[in-house]
Structure 1
Amino acid sequence: MTQDTCTLTIDGHRIELPILTGPTGDRVIDISTLREQTGVTTLDPSFANTASCRSAISWIDGDKGRLLYRGIPIETFAENKVSFVETAMLLISGHLPTQAERDRFAELLTEYSPLHRNMDLHFNAFPPNSHPMAIMSSMINAMSTHDRPRITDDASFADAAAKLMSKVRTIAAASYKASIGEPAVYPRYDLKYVENFMHMMFSVPYRLYEPDDIAARALNLFLVLHADHGQNCSTSTVRVVGSSGANLFASCSAGVCALWGDRHGGANVNAVRQLERIAASGLTPSQYVARVKDGKDRIAGFGHRVYRNWDPRARILRGVVGPLLDSMNRPDPLLEIARELEATVLSDDYFIERRLYPNVDFYSGIILRALGIPLNMFTVMFAIGRMPGWIAHWKEQFDDPTTRIARPRQLYVGRPDATWVPRELRRAQA
């Protein structure tokens, strides 16, 4: 990592601040000593211009539409049909696993897939129709009491990571079952990670679900492409909570809560709801696009805050959507609308000039709907996929001896001179 400096003058006092350049060419001004030297802090709402940490896990080039996992282009994972488990191991451990390491991790995932029987009491306590994300977050946190993650070395961390990655899919499926009043389905020891989740999600006691190869590959790719994405809202949340010394499970539970919002993990939900609105309105996709261009409607699933080019994950998922839809035995009018909407936007100069290409949420919403995943489970699926990234970031921070508890500053804009008024003298505020 190379280093240069910049000069900052405050109240006539000049200071030198380091400019750090990473291996990909990213440059940041290191202001970690700014307040100490000047008594001044910076204001950066939403942290849009702030690098909160040093990380070697994933890297995004928004201008060129690139995403790397531990230095490997995301396209490589799709081309080589890499499993979600192997992707997770790379992100968490920092290196490609040997066959023996992979086999051992897979054994742990299988071994840890059942939940402690006392956790049934927690599931049964939720009201009917509870949102699966609320259940999932609570149950991951509850794991801290049933499977306390005492992490003291690499071996105990690997064990805790396998336990969380394994059980999160069981919790996710059981959360869905609890939300619709069906009994949870036990995992099977003979199925792989993705197929086992689909079994627990779609099986009922009187009819077992047999995963389809095309569907399983599509879901595996969905999880792989969501495994990490830099310092997004939920990942930053995991790191902030973890900086306090909170355990791995509690920190990742907080990540689930952060992911829940419409502006983050709920974006693919909005993309599908848009298709529902188009269908209900009676408009064709072309007519809907015309309304968007006139400012009468907004479009979801196109454009990205980070990418000013094609989202590379969207390009990959786009190649999966066609074969998956063609393999379906049931027609779905919404998916046909999605195909027409995509074609309309990609051929329109209005969107091309503004670089509003379909993003990963547009295609992931189509894929999850095609797989039969209900809308309220979309963010849950995102959480399963993002879990390896959260675990990796928690560990990266845990291993960093310079880690301090996160404590942002603020610019106080309240009154500096308010006085206390006795209750009997107070008047209602206008």
Structure 2
Amino acid sequence: MADNDTNRPDTTQKMSPSATISIGTRQAELPVRSGTIGPDVVDIRKLAQDLGVYSFDPGYGETASCQSSITYIDGDEGVLLHRGYPIDQLAMNASFPEVAYLLLYGELPNAQEYCDFRENLKEHALLHEQIRNFFNGFRRDAHPMAILCGTVGALSAFYHDGIDISNPASRDLSARRLIAKVPTIAAWAYKYSQGEPFVYPNDDYSFSENFLAMMFSRPNTRYRVNPVLARAMDRIFILHADHEQNASTSTVRLVGSTGANPFACIAAGIAALWGPAHGGANEAVLAMLEQIGKRENIPAFIEQVKNRESGVRLMGFGHRVYKNFDPRAKILQQTYHEVVSELKLAHDPMFDLAIELERIAVEDPYFIQRKLYPNVDFYSGLILRALGIPTSMFTVLFAVARTVGWVSQWREMIEEPGQRIGRPRQLYTGAARRDFRPFSNRN
């Protein structure tokens, strides 16, 4: 774990003046909390006690559900920071294990810490040999996300020494195991769907090289990892590693608040990510491009998008959080062109179509006024397709990357003093109290 140093940023929470809330003749003073950066937050924990009311925020879009020092997003300015470091600096200069270490421990590793951490991940990348039997229990056409979710949850049956969440060493061991083993499970899920032999992790490769090798190498051929493609894979992992309190991360925290073991918590996160509104957006981009078909069809498609009654959406543009350009998209845009150049795909109709659609959309006043810029999903799906990864594996790769963020958020939550089980309230709109009636008295 990284040593403390004098350059570590001050993340001490500062107190601001309280907020006065009045309901009729009742009044309450609620503390206003200020983070290191970002908007102030009204602490409403005594709202019901002081005023007898609860807040109502479906989807929790205006609610800070926790206190965290891991990731910061400023959607208006297009800023994404991991432990204070801008995402573009990390994606362009660091490796995925470096970012994983940063998210877990709060500081970038020094040379020795990085070497030890990377070797430890390689050691834990192997799966218990009996886990192979799980794959034979799935249908050959089972979705890889179903295999991933089920197998990750089953890890708790194999690694009992990592489920004592009261023990810091046990929590750390579980975190490292999950970061190392989820890529192996993911690659094996793909191999199983293809009817090909499983490929074991290779210590000679980096994290991303190893994943590509487990995906695409075969026992009867020598596989050579293309460094350009490995770098693209590494960036995709880094850019999807964590993204604040999204649906799947909030799920991991909520399940973790019950004291569930970390493998069950991450399996819950995978299940939440599986939803098409969360982890399947890049698949939707490719489906949209296939629907458009040709460059000459783009203007008509754009007009359909502008017609709200058509139900046609421009996938891969805009973001619920980012009201400016998604900072991750800028990096993948460059990576996308590097991959296309390396694989000589400039004349591929799909990529030609994507480039033209992007050009038209970013120059159209309709989308500019609505700040609908390309997001990370627009480019990630295109890159994964270029790498030869089928769309059924897109969300699986998302889960491989996001496991790092999930375990970091889970550890932070468990170690927070006074941590409580998650228990949202509701606005009840059902029937008021009524008495039971026998059949003879019912209409």
Normalising by the smaller structure, the TM-score range is over 0.9
Q: Could you say which residue in structure 1 is the equivalent of 2:228?
A: 214
Is 1:32 the counterpart of 2:45? The answer is yes
Q: Could you say which residue in structure 1 is the equivalent of 2:269?
A: 255
The equivalent position to 1:226 in structure 2, one of 229, 237, 240, is 240
Ranges in structure 2 where 5+ consecutive residues have no aligned partner: 1-13
Question: Which whole-Å CA distance do the structure 2 matches of 1:286 and 1:214 have between them?
Answer: 34
Give TM-score, length-normalised by structure 2.
0.92
The equivalent position to 1:190 in structure 2, one of 191, 204, 216, is 204
Decide whether the 8 Å contact of 1:199 with 1:208 is kept in 2. Answer: no
Shift of 1:243: 0.3
Letter in 2 for 1:138: G
Q: Could you say which residue in structure 1 is the equivalent of 2:377?
A: 361
Shift of 1:294: 3.1
Q: Could you say which residue in structure 2 is the equivalent of 1:205?
A: 219
Q: Could you say which residue in structure 2 is the equivalent of 1:239?
A: 253
Question: Which whole-Å CA distance do the structure 2 matches of 1:135 and 1:25 have between them?
Answer: 39
Decide whether the 8 Å contact of 1:62 with 1:306 is kept in 2. Answer: yes
Letter in 1 for 2:236: F
Question: Which whole-Å CA distance do the structure 1 matches of 2:240 and 2:110 have between them?
Answer: 23
Deviations for 1:15-63, whole angstroms, at most 9, x for unmatched residues? 1001112121411110011112222111110001100000000000011
Size of the alignment, in residue pairs?
Answer: 425
Q: Could you say which residue in structure 1 is the equivalent of 2:398?
A: 382
Q: Could you say which residue in structure 2 is the equivalent of 1:51?
A: 64
The equivalent position to 2:316 in structure 1, one of 296, 301, 320, is 301
| SS of residue paired to 1:395 | helix
Deviations for 1:60-107, whole angstroms, at most 9, x for unmatched residues? 001100000001111111332x10000000001111112111111111
Q: Could you say which residue in structure 1 is the equivalent of 2:175?
A: 161
Give TM-score, length-normalised by structure 1.
0.95
Is 1:371 the counterpart of 2:403? The answer is no
Change in 2 beyond 3 A, CA 1:154/1:97: farther
| SS of residue paired to 1:292 | helix
The equivalent position to 2:425 in structure 1, one of 405, 409, 425, is 409
Q: Could you say which residue in structure 2 is the equivalent of 1:274?
A: 288
Decide whether the 8 Å contact of 2:27 with 2:51 is kept in 1. Answer: no
Q: Could you say which residue in structure 1 is the equivalent of 2:109?
A: 97
Is 1:120 the counterpart of 2:136? The answer is no
Q: Could you say which residue in structure 2 is the equivalent of 1:291?
A: 304
| SS of residue paired to 2:367 | helix
Decide whether the 8 Å contact of 1:20 with 1:29 is kept in 2. Answer: yes
Ranges in structure 1 where 5+ consecutive residues have no aligned partner: none
Deviations for 1:199-246, whole angstroms, at most 9, x for unmatched residues? 111122323432111100011001101111110000000000000001
| SS of residue paired to 1:387 | helix
Between 49-58 and 141-150, the greater mean CA deviation after superposition: 141-150
Shift of 1:313: 0.4
Decide whether the 8 Å contact of 2:252 with 2:266 is kept in 1. Answer: yes
| SS of residue paired to 1:174 | helix
Between 8-17 and 389-398, the greater mean CA deviation after superposition: 8-17
Between 204-213 and 378-387, the greater mean CA deviation after superposition: 204-213
The equivalent position to 1:75 in structure 2, one of 54, 69, 88, is 88
Shift of 1:424: 8.8
Between 204-213 and 395-404, the greater mean CA deviation after superposition: 204-213
Runs of 4+ in 1 over 6 A off after TM superposition: 423-427
Letter in 2 for 1:210: R
Decide whether the 8 Å contact of 2:295 with 2:353 is kept in 1. Answer: no
Question: Which whole-Å CA distance do the structure 2 matches of 1:332 and 1:162 have between them?
Answer: 40
Letter in 2 for 1:90: L
Question: Which whole-Å CA distance do the structure 2 matches of 1:225 and 1:290 have between them?
Answer: 32
Shift of 1:133: 0.7
Question: Which whole-Å CA distance do the structure 2 matches of 1:147 and 1:329 have between them?
Answer: 45
Between 289-298 and 344-353, the greater mean CA deviation after superposition: 289-298
Is 1:398 the counterpart of 2:398? The answer is no
